[in-house]
Amino acid sequence: MTSQNNPGRVTEKAAETRSRILNVALDLFRRKGFEQATLREIAAEAGVSLGNAYYYFDSKEALVMAFYSRASDEMAPLIENALAEAKGFEKRVTAILSVKFEYFGPNRAFLGALLRHGADPQNPLSPFGEETRHIRERDMEYFAKALELSRIDVPKDLARCLPKLLWLYQMGLILFWIYDHSDGQQRTAQLRDKSLGLMATALKLAGFPLLRPLRKKLIELVRIAEGEQADA
């Protein structure tokens, strides 16, 4: 078992080396893209041998996983703050999403390369996979909190699965954002605002008797999808 699985036990020097490699890697990913950046270059720029880089990171993609992890940790307090300050459902969700988009902004060009394994269940980097479960659940917690703080009043059955749906919504928006080459990705911001408005409207209407069959079907849908994830 290599040291990246044992971060509590490592020596100061090891942690320093590991961190240096990761920093150089991310910098090169940003500057040249994921494919173009080579591990030889990363190792050289970090002042270690190629073999040593592999001692710390099992693969090139492990560097990406480490980036995910670090990002999740660093964004946590930012999101907590943003959540505390924002008022209302739409504002709160916007706050969460804004932290993410700002954090990932400089990495947008290579985020696509990161997420490209989204459709591959075997891949550790898949946002739906087992290895990313921790990050995913943390994200859902934010949305649960936003709903809770906003005292969103929807039928209980629906309320239960809203965090999951919001997380899925977030993934869709990030996907759009990666493809968005409008100035400053303003189109994504528009899409976010409009879709959140749509959602708020839908949530207000969710209690209407007319929509009951629709709601029941949606919940049944989520139940099936969840069953799938459970034994994934």
Residues near DNA, by CB under 7 A: 3, 10-11, 13-14, 17-18, 37-40, 47-52, 54-56, 58-61
156 binding partner (options its own copies, DNA, none; Cβ < 5 to 8 Å by kind): none
Q: Which residues bind its own copies (CB under 8 A)?
A: 112-113, 115-123, 128, 175-176, 178-182, 187, 190-191, 194-195, 197-198, 201-202, 205, 208, 210-211, 213-214, 217-218, 220-221, 224-225, 227-228, 231-232
61 binding partner (options its own copies, DNA, none; Cβ < 5 to 8 Å by kind): DNA
Choice between 125 and 196, CB closer to DNA: 125
Least spacing, CB of residue 15 vs DNA, in Å: 7
Question: How far are the Cα atoms of 96, 165, 177, 231 from residue 181, in angstroms, in the given order?
Answer: 22, 26, 8, 38
47 binding partner (options DNA, its own copies, none; Cβ < 5 to 8 Å by kind): DNA
60 binding partner (options DNA, its own copies, none; Cβ < 5 to 8 Å by kind): DNA
Specify the 3-state DSSP secondary structure of 215.
helix
Six-digit token string for 66? 């480490």
- 3-state secondary structure string across 3-59: HHHCCCCCCHHHHHHHHHHHHHHHHHHHHHCCCCCCHHHHHHHHCCCHHHHHHHCCC
